[in-house]
Every structure is written in C-alpha cells, then in structure tokens.
Chains A and B, each alone.
Chain A
Amino acid sequence: MAFSLLVWFAIWEVVGQLDLVSLLPPFSEVITAFPEVVSSGTFADAAWITLQAFLIGMGLSFAIGIGVGMLMGTSRAVGSVMGMWVNIFESSPLTAIVPALMALLGFGLETMIVTVFLFSVWVIALDTQVGVERVNPSLVEMGRSFGATKRVLYSRIVLHAALPELLAGIRLGLIRGLKGVIIGQLLIAVLGVGYLFELYSRNFLMPEFWALLIILFTFAFMASEAVAYFERKVAFYASSR
C-alpha cells in the first residue's frame, strides 16, 4: 500500500516540472538536494541539538509519565484528581505555552527540552493509566499469593500486563514530542531544525526545504513504526488479559 506514495511522488514531479505551484519544485530536484542538505555543517548542528532536546525531553516524559500513570492507575483517588489535570493539558494547545517558556528559560536547549516534555507526557500518563487499570486483578492476586513484593509485582506483572497500552502511549508520545521540538524551534527561530526551515523558506530554497521536511517526516514515521512493531509483538496477549 505504501507504493501509492510512489504515485504521489510521480504526481509531484509532474506538478513541479510544469511549475504549477511555485512552492513545489520537481521531486527530482528535491532528491538531488538531499546530499547537499545532509552534508552541510548547519544541518549537523541543527540535527544534533534537535536530537538532544528530543531524547532528553522524551526520557523525562517516559520516566514521569509512566510513573504518574501507574500511580493514577492503581489509586482511584490519584487517578481522578490527576486525571483532571492530565486531561486538561492533553487537549490544550500547548503551543501557547511555548512563548512563556521562552520568557522563563530563554532561547536555548532548556526551553526545547521542556517543550518536548510538555507535549508528550500527558498522553503517556493517560495510556499508562488505562493499561494499569485494565490489568486483570486475578493476575495481581496470583502474584501476591506467590509472595511477590510490591516492587516485583509492579515491575514484573503490572508493567508487562499493561504493555500494550503503554507502548501505544509511548508511540503517541514520540509523535507529539517531535511535534513539540519542531514547534518550539519554529517559535524560537534561532536554533535547530526549525531554524533551518526558517532559513530555507526565507531564501526560497525550496528543494532544500522539502528535502529537510522529508528527512524529518521519515524520522518521525520510522520512530513511530518502530514502537508499533513492538506493539504488534505484544498484541497477542492484549485481548486475552
């Protein structure tokens, strides 16, 4: 089915050759721009700082999101209180918060890390909560009857049982985190891949712009599919819990 993308690329080539849309250069020019974009020093710097912000922010999200999610899933009180906050932020345009972060933390890496964190942590917490809530109580009772300590109970049984939802949350969190880092950079406008986009579009270097966009989209898609792969691997027990 992905072969339909090839059809779209062909259409793109035609549109570009016929110069129908000024923004769209022929696809072939975009392809030739790839090596230029990737080998440029600015790309390496931009990619590196983007990756840093993304990985650190996501790491924080995983740690805090999964932890809070497990708490929310086990305690009804915590679940209902935290749930209200998590839901509020999960459906809000967090983009609006970025200018405040810029005022508080400046125009650097810290702001980007916090942006990634804020964009991704809510959905991770929510899906972890759902996963923990869905764990069959008999599994927990079974563990306790065999003398499992709380730590073992949570790390071995609950975590594994909740894995399908957890992975779904992580996949969505990755996507949102990536959106966060890009939006953050578009607003900060002096760093990272977002800055590169600004640069290319300002100078109307369209092949380079689209090449960079495709690189970014491919990265996002591959990260998402990597997690989806693991999701599929654990799906076999998802329905029989």
Chain B
Amino acid sequence: MAASAGIRAGRTPARRVAAGVSSPWVLRGASVLFVLGLWEWAGRVPVNIAFPTCTETLAAFGEMLVDGTFAEAYAETAGPLIVGVLLTAAGGVFAGLVMGLSPRAEWLGLPVFIVLQASPSAAIVPLITFIYGIGFTAKVFAVVLLSAPVIVLNSYRGIANTPRSLLEMSNAFLASRWQRIWKVVIPAGSGLIFAGLRLGLAQGFTGAVLAELIITPTGVGDLITFYRSGADYPKMFAAILSIILVASVSVTLLQNLERRLFRPEMRAI
C-alpha cells in the first residue's frame, strides 16, 4: 500500500491525466460514442435504404418508451420468458443433479442432452404449434427447449466433478451419503450450476424471441415484424436495440452476482 501511494504521489499532473484517460471506462465510453457516430454517418450516406440513422433510431426508441409501446410489448414477452426460465431452472438443475449422482440416469440422459446442446434445436420450434397451439404454453415450451440443455449439462458437470480430495475428506470424517451430497457435492458444484443458469437465461431470451417471430406475433417479436412489414425502420431497429439491451443487462447482472458469490478463490483449494 505504501509503495503505490508513493508512486501515485510521484506522478505529475500530466501523467495522472493520461492515466485517467486510459482507464477502462473512459475508453469504453469513447468506443460507444465512436460506434454511435459511425452509425449516424452510415445511416446518412445511406449505406442501405433500410438502414436508419442513429438519431432516428434513438428518437424512435424514446417515443416507444414514452408512449408505452415497450411497456406493453415487454409485459407480453416477459411472461413466457420468466415462466419458462424458472421451470427449466428448477427442472434442469434437478435433472443435472440426478444425472450427476446416479450412473444409470447419467447413462440414459447425458447423450440426449449432449446431442440437444450441439444441435440447432430451433428447428423444432415450428412444430410446437401442433401440440401447444399458438398460446402461452407454446412460447414457454420454446423457452424451455432452448435453455434446458445448457442448464442440465452445467448442473451435471458441477455435481459430477466434485474434487476428489473433498470427497475423501468427507469419507474420512464419516459422512453418510446424504450428508456428503448435501454438505459437499452440492456446494462444490454450485458455481457451475449458477453459470448454467446464467447461460440458460441468455438462451431463454433467444427462445422467447424466436417463438414470437415464428409461432405467434406478440410482444417484442411482434414489434420487430410489424415495423418491418410497415417499413418503419427506425422503430424496428429501436425494438431490436431494446431487446439486446434488456438481455445483455440481465445477463450481466447475473454474471456480477455470480462473480461475487462464487469468487475463483473459493473454488479450488
């Protein structure tokens, strides 16, 4: 501590300014401004008739925010998304747990989820309407379909990869099977389980949007399709921008929570 204070005291004002300028947040802010500027220029050229300028898009964004279009749309999208993610979280973590603890369940279930994870299961989405129609359930199913593999597989990996030394230690101190699972295996795997939930949320957003673009026009997906067919490109781009922001912010919030709860030092000792 004393050493760095000495270094800081020794920095000239110019150096301190330079150090401040190269701080990550300043650079990032600068990059945002740069991208917005580039976007504005591209829209004015115009690079493409369907490409609105930055200002047009932001204006449309503000309009939709104020007149409640966004509120209405997100209220519709949020329902299946939240229900789907919660369902998959509960069911998926449980399935991963069972697969991690039972060799038979692992044998039966793992190949299925590995295949689902690697494959474009989005292809199944159009089929959903045949069973679940075009309502709420169909959209929940789409969310579940896309988010389940990553949640299940991460939970499985967290449970199945408990450090051997901790297992040996609990054995040495006479832990029963349930004590071992509850007090050692699950806490040791909770980091990966949480990571799976974060990834599952991101996939859930994809499922929700896909359902709204393919199955039934509601919510944010409907906004996008509607404004595209009406050639109202500023509003279409604004809607797309909004879902990207909402998704990134929610996933980043989860990621920060994850980092605080599961610091790397807490993992491998």
A38 to chain B, nearest CB (A): 17
Chain A residues with CB below 8 A from B127, complex form? 23, 201, 209
With an 8 Å Cβ cutoff, the count of chain A residues facing the other chain is 51
Chain B, 197-214, CB within 8 A of any chain A CB: 202, 205-206, 208-210, 213-214
Is B257 positioned at the interface, with any CB of A under 8 Å from its CB?
no
Is B22 positioned at the interface, with any CB of A under 8 Å from its CB?
yes
Is B38 positioned at the interface, with any CB of A under 8 Å from its CB?
no
Chain A residues with CB below 8 A from B122, complex form? 179, 182-183, 186
Chain B residues with CB below 8 A from A97, complex form? 240, 244
Chain B, 19-38, CB within 8 A of any chain A CB: 22, 24, 27-28, 30-31, 35
> What are the interface flags for A191-214 relative to B under an 8 Å C-beta threshold, 1 for contact and 0 otherwise?
001100110010000000100010
Chain A residues with CB below 8 A from B225, complex form? 99
A51 to chain B, nearest CB (A): 14
- Tell me whether B118 and A220 are in contact (CB under 8 A): yes
With an 8 Å Cβ cutoff, the count of chain B residues facing the other chain is 55
- Tell me whether A217 and B240 are in contact (CB under 8 A): no
Distance in angstroms between the alpha carbons of A127 and B27 in the assembled complex? 22
Chain B residues with CB below 8 A from A224, complex form? 118
- Tell me whether A99 and B224 are in contact (CB under 8 A): yes
- Tell me whether A96 and B243 are in contact (CB under 8 A): yes
Contact among B27, B205, B236 with A77 in the assembled complex (CB-CB below 8 Å): B27
Contact among B24, B50, B221 with A103 in the assembled complex (CB-CB below 8 Å): B50
Chain B residues with CB below 8 A from A80, complex form? 24, 27-28
B89 to chain A, nearest CB (A): 17
Chain B residues with CB below 8 A from A221, complex form? 114-115, 118-119
Is B262 positioned at the interface, with any CB of A under 8 Å from its CB?
no
- Tell me whether A92 and B220 are in contact (CB under 8 A): no
Is A95 positioned at the interface, with any CB of B under 8 Å from its CB?
yes
* Most B CB within 10 A of own CB, among A96, A175, A220, A224: A96
Distance in angstroms between the alpha carbons of A93 and B124 in the assembled complex? 18
B241 to chain A, nearest CB (A): 9
Name the residue on A nearest B242 (C-beta).
A96
- Tell me whether B31 and A84 are in contact (CB under 8 A): yes
Chain B residues with CB below 8 A from A81, complex form? 24, 27-28, 30-31
Is B83 positioned at the interface, with any CB of A under 8 Å from its CB?
no
Name the residue on A nearest B47 (C-beta).
A104
Please tell me which stretch of A2-10, A133-141, A145-153, A157-165 contacts chain B, meaning at least 4 of its Cβ atoms lie within 8 angstroms of it: A2-10
Name the residue on B nearest A106 (C-beta).
B50
Chain A residues with CB below 8 A from B82, complex form? none
Distance in angstroms between the alpha carbons of A23 and B48 in the assembled complex? 43
- Tell me whether A175 and B118 are in contact (CB under 8 A): yes
Chain B, 106-152, CB within 8 A of any chain A CB: 106-112, 114-115, 117-120, 122-127, 130-131
- Do A187 and B214 contact each other (CB < 8 Å), given the known contacts A103-B236, A213-B123? yes
- Tell me whether B228 and A102 are in contact (CB under 8 A): yes
- Tell me whether B108 and A4 are in contact (CB under 8 A): yes
- Tell me whether A91 and B251 are in contact (CB under 8 A): yes
A122 to chain B, nearest CB (A): 11
- Tell me whether A194 and B224 are in contact (CB under 8 A): no
Chain A residues with CB below 8 A from B239, complex form? 96
Chain B, 216-261, CB within 8 A of any chain A CB: 220-221, 224-225, 228, 233, 236-237, 239-240, 243-244, 247-248, 251-252
What are 20 inter-chain pairs, A to B, with CB distance below 8 A?
A4-B111, A7-B108, A84-B31, A85-B31, A91-B251, A91-B252, A92-B202, A92-B243, A93-B206, A95-B210, A96-B213, A96-B221, A100-B237, A103-B50, A104-B48, A175-B118, A175-B119, A182-B120, A182-B122, A186-B126
- List 10 additional A-B contacts (Cβ < 8 Å) besides A186-B122, A221-B115: A4-B108, A80-B27, A91-B202, A92-B202, A93-B202, A97-B240, A103-B228, A194-B123, A201-B126, A216-B123
